[in-house]
Chains A and B, each alone.
Chain A
């Protein structure tokens, strides 16, 4: 069971969290104006990196807030968690 640091509550067991998929995918301002390719890109295309992955978690059984995390998909180690709306931290080489 992962140990996840909620940026609002601190380290808590994975049991308290739900996973929310890839982070930093903002819903377009005006979906109606988008062509099919761009909409498909937004709706379906997701990264599947080997290494650092920015993903959303929700501390459902805690503060109930969504936040973002950088997790190394090869080791499951979290190198950062940060509030929704914050940019992805620049951590070149981190988690290696």
Chain B
């Protein structure tokens, strides 16, 4: 074969601008305007990929997003490798580096191709049947090897350095597909002055007009008409045109996801230029003008490189100036292939034969081919091809009927064009939940009743031919824009019969022949027939068993033929078989464009406190608590966490510690009915809580289980300062709002989140009062004036404060609330004042140990959504005299008082050095074999520095009655003996809060 298949003229490629690129390490030249596929074809490169299962050599089949074979990886550098791109959609740029996939060591010599010889042993469902046993071999042997052999492309090993954008857009009319129907729809829709968006997956608008040769619209060539329409639309400020935009998903309520390629096609994108953009377009009305995809013919050896779809061959010729070969056999069951044959004939290609499976094709295209003297064989099926890494001859057999064929003729050729007709692209319609209906005349599925405000137009709803597409598109655009505009397009184009053939052609090649249905997943007619023989009836089951239509191309070229073959095998008409649901994405999209900006630091919002920077400067180690960054510990020198926590704990107990509690959730509950609201919402009683006093509050859900806790201070008769857990603040506020708005709208109460408004500095330890005393104004810190669980308003360091005397450590403690903007200043002042007193900063880890030493629970650690207040020892908090509160009725259920409920207890290991694993189970007797009789689990476990031993909290069935007993923690190798104790390990009398 000649090295170049480029025509001397024609097409819309730029003949004077050559482009260098490489494919599998070899350098080639293409032209500006080429795709990778057209440039490779022009260079005589046939093999562009290896198939998924059998590793068969494959050439390009189509010319657009339907391409199942020519999947390549495009590499810019180590971090920029995009796998599984369709070479038909990769726009050529100078220096483009592309590599084929699924082959080793090379595309033309692939060791994996031996699988093709083994194919009689790899039928449909092979994996399910073969790798069943032994079960243990699946993880280690079968799955890794299957994945290595069957992988489709490789992900880059480095982080993606590019940026991706995300935008929302709104419009009255969104038109998807900019072929003749889409352009006509845009013309009509834009006449009303409303916002119109027209998106198309290609780099240019125009669809089939980009490769039309003889069509004349309103006196202009198809291409010239397209140029004029695009110019008119572009000049309209209300119209947005988007190219390289893959409308991949149709979401509820007319939200369309569109992935737009921004710099993928550029030789050297500007530094920092975004690579892709995700559009979420909300449209009042949608026009689907998604066209139709040509169906391959199903015949033995139909996957040999050089066999391509007829209309794609026309595209290569008319748009890119590339010939599929020099001597071509056309196999068809549809008139459009004659148009391709005529165009190629005019370009000087020898048409060796046209084998038409139909007995008596007629119509203007067939007549034109006859008039041009092309050798037409009617009633002929192609029954095979031969050639090494390409096609060298075609086998043509007369169809005798009843599935039989006569003696074949061998025709030499270097390419085969095929066409079974066109399948309307109903993918997006199906995604929108619209139901497709079978059209008996066209023998295809068409859009039925709409589920969303959308309509299909043109070929995607079976309106084939240029004149029909334009008229249908214009009417759809007018309708979508709620206009009544009319326009008659004067079209001169030769149109054929829209009906084609579905399913497999007859052949005499026996059982060994491979007639492919699904190129990408290597599914043949044999696989489908086998599935039916094995008893599969439902198309959904056959699809999953054989994987037909399940590849990244979503069965664009294969679905209807698969139905045809299954219909024959089941002897049931296609509409009784149904159609599988089309899944998004229409064409694969990158993870990058879906992630957009949500990566790295922007993956999730990060919340930091006003004291955060100070902690960073002190070398704190942070942990994530919901969205917050919290200082976990403050290592000194080379301390590890254990050493730092031990030192911090002892410092708090002996001197004083300072702790950033700003992340505590805070809600201001205000209004004449504030106390009544609190009474109804919390389990505690609030009416008698005096102004200036605090109380530890507990929230249950209506089912009686603890959901949050926190100290609540009464600022005035009608104002409560509520605190919640760090992670629970939004949930508690939402729950409060729910009851206030929907159950108790009679209450006059306002709720305001003040979490971010206050910085909270916890000062805990015997020296706390001494440190604070020089900093406050108008505040009496004496125990008489400010007792434990009380609060006062005044000033500290010159700024207003709500100063609480509370303790989550068991020590004398204060929590100083100041406006956030003053948080760091006040913190630093306290820090300076504390230096003579041995003040240390401590983090959340020390906070956890100190509270565990006191048996204070953490909601979500001791509780798990199934613990009642009594389970965690908080019965004392319940306002028993209250007639009602959230959860009260559920707590009255007998089961809530069952003696075997899990209850909070302490555990002390017999060996004080052993620190239990949190989450470990509790059993009553040692030496049990699984399944053991589990009676509880460890919820918190630490080394306590002040006690010089380990401590643990646990939820144990009937736990309080077991205090004093020995129970066991089963661990690999041994059972750890522990004593059940009170959960309060340190200062059980509670004298230390008094300083």
Question: A residues within 8 Å of B by Cβ?
Answer: 1-3, 13, 18, 20, 26-27, 30-32, 34, 36, 39, 43, 56, 58, 60, 64-66, 75-77, 84-85
One of A2, A43, A56 near B252 (C-beta < 8 A): A2
For B702, the chain A residues whose CB sits under 8 A away are: 27, 43
Residue of B nearest to A36 (CB): B893
B884 touches A32 (CB 8 A): yes
For A65, the chain B residues whose CB sits under 8 A away are: 741
B282 touches A3 (CB 8 A): yes
B282 touches A31 (CB 8 A): no
Please, how many angstroms separate the alpha-carbon atoms of A14 and B255 in the complex?
11
B734 touches A32 (CB 8 A): no
Please, how many angstroms separate the alpha-carbon atoms of A84 and B884 in the complex?
23
Q: Does B883 contact A (CB under 8 A)?
A: yes
Residue of A nearest to B680 (CB): A27
Please, how many angstroms separate the alpha-carbon atoms of A56 and B739 in the complex?
13
B741 touches A31 (CB 8 A): no
Nearest Cβ on chain A to B880's Cβ, whole angstroms = 12
B451 touches A31 (CB 8 A): no
B253 touches A30 (CB 8 A): no
Compute the total of residue contacts between A and B using a CB distance below 8 Å. 57
Nearest Cβ on chain A to B250's Cβ, whole angstroms = 12
A31 touches B889 (CB 8 A): yes
One of A36, A56, A75 near B742 (C-beta < 8 A): A56
Q: Which of A26, A27, A36, A85 has the most CB of B within 10 A?
A: A27
Q: Does B890 contact A (CB under 8 A)?
A: yes
For B888, the chain A residues whose CB sits under 8 A away are: 31-32
For B890, the chain A residues whose CB sits under 8 A away are: 39, 43
For A32, the chain B residues whose CB sits under 8 A away are: 883-884, 888-889, 892
Please, how many angstroms separate the alpha-carbon atoms of A39 and B896 in the complex?
14
Residue of A nearest to B886 (CB): A27
Q: Does B358 contact A (CB under 8 A)?
A: no
Please, how many angstroms separate the alpha-carbon atoms of A77 and B734 in the complex?
26
Please, how many angstroms separate the alpha-carbon atoms of A60 and B730 in the complex?
11
B741 touches A84 (CB 8 A): yes
For B255, the chain A residues whose CB sits under 8 A away are: 1, 3
Q: Does B35 contact A (CB under 8 A)?
A: no
Q: Does B837 contact A (CB under 8 A)?
A: no
Residue of B nearest to A76 (CB): B252
Q: Does B433 contact A (CB under 8 A)?
A: yes
Q: A1-B253, A20-B738 are in contact. List 12 more A-B contacts (CB 8 A).
A: A1-B252, A13-B168, A13-B282, A27-B743, A30-B884, A31-B884, A32-B892, A36-B893, A56-B742, A58-B737, A58-B738, A66-B741
Query: Interface residues of B, CB < 8 Å — how many?
Result: 27
18 contacts between A and B (CB under 8 A): A1-B252, A1-B255, A2-B252, A3-B252, A3-B254, A3-B255, A26-B743, A27-B702, A27-B743, A30-B884, A31-B889, A43-B703, A56-B742, A58-B737, A58-B738, A66-B738, A76-B252, A84-B745
One of B254, B737, B745, B883 near A64 (C-beta < 8 A): B737
**CB within 8 Å of A: which B425-452 residues:** 433, 451
Given the known interface contacts A26-B743, A31-B884, A84-B742, the answer about A75 and B889 at a Cβ–Cβ threshold of 8 Å is no
Please, how many angstroms separate the alpha-carbon atoms of A1 and B282 in the complex?
9
For B65, the chain A residues whose CB sits under 8 A away are: none
Nearest Cβ on chain A to B573's Cβ, whole angstroms = 27
For A76, the chain B residues whose CB sits under 8 A away are: 252-253
Please, how many angstroms separate the alpha-carbon atoms of A13 and B888 in the complex?
37
Q: Does B280 contact A (CB under 8 A)?
A: yes
**CB within 8 Å of A: which B882-922 residues:** 883-884, 888-890, 892-893
Please, how many angstroms separate the alpha-carbon atoms of A13 and B252 in the complex?
11
Please, how many angstroms separate the alpha-carbon atoms of A26 and B889 in the complex?
15
For B893, the chain A residues whose CB sits under 8 A away are: 36
Q: Does B986 contact A (CB under 8 A)?
A: no
Residue of A nearest to B739 (CB): A27
Q: Does B545 contact A (CB under 8 A)?
A: no
Residue of B nearest to A30 (CB): B884
B254-284 CB mask vs A (1 if < 8 Å, else 0) is 1100000000000000000000000010100
**CB within 8 Å of A: which B855-895 residues:** 883-884, 888-890, 892-893
A60 touches B889 (CB 8 A): no
Nearest Cβ on chain A to B747's Cβ, whole angstroms = 13
Q: Does B251 contact A (CB under 8 A)?
A: yes
For A84, the chain B residues whose CB sits under 8 A away are: 741-742, 745
Q: Which 5 A/B pairs are nearest by Cβ-Cβ distance?
A: A31-B889, A3-B253, A27-B743, A66-B741, A76-B252
Residue of A nearest to B257 (CB): A1
One of A26, A39, A60 near B734 (C-beta < 8 A): A60
One of A2, A26, A43 near B253 (C-beta < 8 A): A2
**CB within 8 Å of A: which B735-765 residues:** 737-739, 741-743, 745
Residue of B nearest to A68 (CB): B742
Please, how many angstroms separate the alpha-carbon atoms of A77 and B252 in the complex?
8
A85 touches B884 (CB 8 A): no
Nearest Cβ on chain B to A64's Cβ, whole angstroms = 7
Residue of B nearest to A65 (CB): B741
Please, how many angstroms separate the alpha-carbon atoms of A43 and B890 in the complex?
9
For B883, the chain A residues whose CB sits under 8 A away are: 30, 32
Residue of B nearest to A60 (CB): B734
